[in-house]
Structure 1
C-alpha cells in the first residue's frame, strides 16, 4: 500500500491517495487456479469434440460446465475455485479436531512457554537482563519480538499544521524500519479497554488526605467500589527481529538467543529515538507481567478491569492464555467473549486527509482492536516485484489489444500506481506492505453482530471497505488482537 500526496501550501494539511489492492492474474487477469480449472474444462471440451462430438459433448458437459462455473462464478467477491483451498483447510481442521482448544490444567506447561492455543504454543519468553523487556521468541519463524506502549495526544484535536507535521515525522519513523533490513514486522495495535477506575485511585493516592475522617473514609470507599465508568484507548508498538536476516550480526554479538537480544536492543534504541522525534511518548519496553495482562485481557475481556485494578494478579505468561477457544466459520468464542475479525480490503480511492479513520477509532460502546501490520521489503525485492507487475500490466494490455478488448479505467489506474511506486522507490523511499485488521468483541453473539455492523458502517464513513475473514478466525484474532507480530 502506497499513499500519494497532493501539493499544498506550507502549514496546510496535505490530502493523500492510497494505491489499489493488487489483484493481478497470470494471464488476462486470471489466477493460476482459474487457469487450471479453465484448462481442464477446455481440454475436456476439445477432446470430446474431436472424438466425435454429439453424445460425447453431452457426457462430458458436467466436467466443462463445472470448470467454467468454478472459474468465473464469484462468491463473496472471489471466484469459486479460490475458495476451494479455504474449504479444504476448514474440513481438515474439522476432521482433525483443530477448532477446539481446552487448556490442560492438571498437566503443567514447560517452563518459559506461553499458554496459548494453536501454533502459538511454540512461543518462548526471554527476559532481557539489560532492559528488563520480555522478548517473545518464535523458533519456527525465527523471530524475536518486543513490545512497548505509546502515549500520544488526540490527533483529531490538533490544528492542521500540527497534524501535517506529525504525519511527516511518523513517516520518517516508519522509514527507519526499512533501512536496517533486519526487521521482520512492525505492528501498531490500538485497542479499547474498559476504564478500570485506576485513574481515580491514583489521583486519591496522590492528592487525597486519608486522615481517618468520615469524609475521607467515605470518599476512599466510593473510589474503591467504583467500577468501569467508560472506556479508554491503549496503543502498543511491537517490533519483530528477523533472526535469519540478522544471522551474521547475531553471531558477532555472541550467537543464540542472547546474541539476537543484543541485535534487537540496537533496533529498539533506533525505534525509540524515531518515536520521540515523532512527538510520541514510548514507555519502557513491556516486561512479562505487562504482556501477560494484555494477552489475558484479549481472551477474557470480563476480567480486564480487575487485572488493572489489582496490579499483582494475572501477571504470569504461563497462565495468561485462554481456558477454552472454539472457532466457527465466521466467529471465535473464548473465555468470556465472542470475537469477529474484519480485514480492511480497500483503502480510500480518492484524496483523503490524515485522520480519515476517526469514525473507526473513535467509535464508542464497542470493544475492538485495530492492528496495522507493517512488513518491510528490501529494496532489491521491491524493485523485482515492481518490474514483475509492470511486465504483467504491459503484457495483459498487449493481449487485450490483440483480442480487441477495451482498456478500462481500473487497469489504467493500477498501472499508474505501479509507476508511482517505482518513482518513490527510485527516490529512496522504503516499501512497506501494510495489512489492517479489526477485531470486534462482545459478550453475546447478538451484541457481536450489532458491533460488527457498527464498525462496518464506520469503515464506510472512513471511505474504507472491510470484509469478514471466514475459515481463519483463530489465526486472524491472534494477528489482530495480540501484540505479537503474527500474520494471517
Structure 2
C-alpha cells in the first residue's frame, strides 16, 4: 500500500540537514577581539580630536590601523582574529618547537608514547582484563581506547537498508550523550597502501598453481597489482572524561585502574550498539596494533614492510616518527609531506546520508578522514541553547533599534537554534562535530596535487574546506591518529 502524505515510506531514504557554523559575535556580529580593538580606535580618535593640532595626526596612526585590522578580512576572518595564532606561531618558532628529532641515545620515560609536540605527554596503560591499550592524557584528564570496524559498502545498499543503517548509527552516537562520562568519540577512516598480502593469501588458499600459462599470468598480476592498490581502514575511538566520571572512578578503585574499569563499561555498551548497527567489530586494539597505526601515519612508506615483517614495529615505545618539521601550512615527517584541511562548512541544503562518497571514495590519494564527536550533557546543552537563543533575539532587537537590516544568515542561525531546542525537548542528544582531512604524499608537489583533488571532491560533497595554518602539527595529530585529540 503506498504511503500517505503524512506517513514516511520505510524504504525511502530521508535527507538530512546540518546546522550552520555560527558566525554571531558578542555585539552586532563583532567578536570580543574586534570590540576591544574597535574601542581602542574610538578612544584614540576622540582623544586626538579633543586635543587637536598635531595630536590628531598622531592619533590617526593608531585608529586607522585599528579599524583596518578590525574589519578587513584575511583568509575568511578579520585580521585581528589571526593575532593569537600568529603570536603562538612566533613563540613556537623562537623556542624551537616546530622541529622534532627522536633521540635514539636517550630513552623515553617508561609508559609514554614516542610522539612529538604536546602529544609527548600521553601515556599508555594496558587493561589487564581485555588486553586493550588505553591512552591517558594527563593534561585533559581523558582515557581513550579504540576498536577497528569492518562494514559493507554503504553506497551499494538499497535505500531501505541505508535508512535502517543510518538510524542504527544514530543510536550508536546517542550512547555517548546519555552517560555523561564520554568526552569524545572519534571516527577515523583512512586509506593505506596495500602490501598485496591479502591477494597472495587468497591465491594460496583458493588458487591452483599447476604451472599453466593462466596460473603464471594470474600470479604475475597479483605481484604487480597487489602493492599498487590501497585499502580502507575504519576505527572508532572512545574517550572517557575522567573529571565527569570522578565519582565512579573512586568507587572502582581510583587512579588509572578505576578509570579503566569505568571505561570498560562504556566499551561494552558501545560494542553492543555497534553490533546492533550491523557493524563488524574486532577486539579492542592492543598496544601492537596502535603502534602500527602511529608508525604508518608518520611514515606511510613503511606500511608494506610492516605488513610482511611479523612482529616488527609493534612496540609503542618506538612507534613515533624519527623526524618532524612543521611549516606554516604543511608538515613533513619521515617519508611524507602532510597537510590538514578543516571542513569549515557542512552542506547547507538537504543531502542524503551518503553525501561524503565523493570524498571518501577518492582513489590514489593517501588521506585520513576524521570525525570528532563531542557529546554535550543534556543540562549543559539546554543552557547553551537558551543562551544562544537569548543572544540572537537581543541582537535582532539591537539591529532593529539602529535600523540595520537582518540578513538571511542570521535568520537561518536562529532557526537552527530553535530546531536544536526542539530536539532537546524531544529527548535527543546534541553533539559537536568537527571534520578534519589529513592528506599525505611523498613530495611537496604531489601533496599540492592531492590537496586540489580532495578540495574538488569536497565541493562535490557540498562541503567547504579550509586549509589550517600555523597549527599543522597539532592538526595532524587530531586528524591522522586515533587518539581523540582535539584542536
| TM-score strictly above 0.5 | yes
Alignment of 1:470-485 (within 5 A): 470-485=469-484
For residues 424 and 158 of structure 2, the distance between their equivalents in structure 1, rounded to whole angstroms, comes to: 31
Please name the residue that 2:331 is paired with: 332
1:256 paired to 2:255 = yes
1:173-193 Cα offsets, whole Å, 9 max, x none, are 100110001111100000001
* Structure 2: distance between partners of 1:149 and 1:428: 30
Structure 1: gaps of 5 or more residues: 1-5
Q: CA deviation at 1:22?
A: 1.1
Structure 1 residues 36-81: Cα deviation after superposition (integer angstroms, max 9, x where no partner):
0000000111112222x34322221010001100110000010000
Residues 186-213 of structure 1 deviation map (CA, whole Å, 9 limit, x = unaligned) = 0000000111112123324534679999
Alpha-carbon distance in structure 1 between the residues aligned to 2:262 and 2:353 = 34
- 1:388-407 matches, cutoff 5 A: 388-407=387-406
Alignment of 1:199-278 (within 5 A): 199-207=198-206, 228-278=227-277
Name the TM-score, length of structure 1 as normaliser.
0.95
Task: Give the deviation of 1:311 after TM superposition.
Answer: 2.6
Q: Note if contact 1:438-1:480 (Cα within 8 Å) is conserved in structure 2.
A: yes
Contact 1:197–1:309 (8 Å) recurs in 2: no
Stretch deviating more after TM superposition (205-214 or 418-427):
205-214
SS at match of 2:148: strand
After alignment, is 28-37 or 386-395 more displaced?
386-395
Query: 2:311 matched to which residue of 1?
Result: 312
**Is 1:20 matched up with 2:20?**
yes
Query: Which structure 2 residues correspond to residues 360-375 of structure 1 after superposition, within 5 A?
Result: 360-375=359-374
Aligned to 1:178: 177
* CA apart distance, 1:10: 2.5
Match runs of 1:79-228 below 5 Å: 79-207=78-206, 228=227
1:336-392: CA deviation from partner (whole Å, max 9, x where unpaired): 000000000001111111100111000011100000000011111111111111111
State the distance in 1 between where 2:62 and 2:218 align.
78
SS in structure 1 at match of 2:120 = helix
Could you tell which deviates more after superposition, 278-287 or 205-214? 205-214
Partner SS state of residue 432, structure 2: strand
CA distance in 2, matches of 1:219, 1:105: 44
Which structure 2 residues correspond to residues 431-442 of structure 1 after superposition, within 5 A?
Answer: 431-442=430-441
> Match for residue 3 of structure 2?
none
CA distance in 2, matches of 1:95, 1:272: 46
Give the equivalent residue in structure 2 for 1:3.
Answer: none
Contact 1:288–1:315 (Cα < 8 Å) also in 2: yes
- Partners of 1:42 and 1:113 lie apart in 2 by 52
Q: How does 1:380-395 map to 2 (within 5 A)?
A: 380-395=379-394
What is aligned with 1:423? 422
- Counterpart CA distance in 2 for 1:107 and 1:218 is 51
Maintained 8 Å contact 1:186/1:375: yes
Cα distance in 2 for partners of 1:181, 1:284 equals 24
- Cα 1:360–1:222 change in 2 (3 A) is closer
CA distance in 2, matches of 1:33, 1:326: 31
Task: State how far apart, in whole Å, the 1-side matches of 2:11 and 2:106 are.
Answer: 62
Q: Secondary structure at the match of 1:339?
A: strand
The unaligned stretches of length 5 or more in structure 2 are 1-5
Which stretches of structure 1, 4 residues or more, deviate above 3 A after TM superposition?
A: 204-227
CA-to-aligned-CA distance 1:424-472 (integer Å, 9 cap, x gap): 0111101100100000000000000000011001101111000000000
TM-score calculated relative to the size of structure 2: 0.95
Quote how far apart the aligned CAs of 1:308 are.
Answer: 1.5
Counterparts of 1:134 and 1:335 in 2: how far apart (Å)?
25
Against the structure 1 CA distance between its residues 210 and 380, is the aligned structure 2 distance closer, same or farther, given a 3 Å change threshold?
same
1:289 aligns with 2:256: no
**Secondary structure of 1:17 counterpart:** coil
- Partner of 1:58 in structure 2? 57
| Residue 107 to residue 214, structure 1, CA distance change in 2 (3 Å) | farther
Separation (CA, whole Å) in 2 of partners of 1:106 and 1:226: 40
Residue matched to 1:74: 73
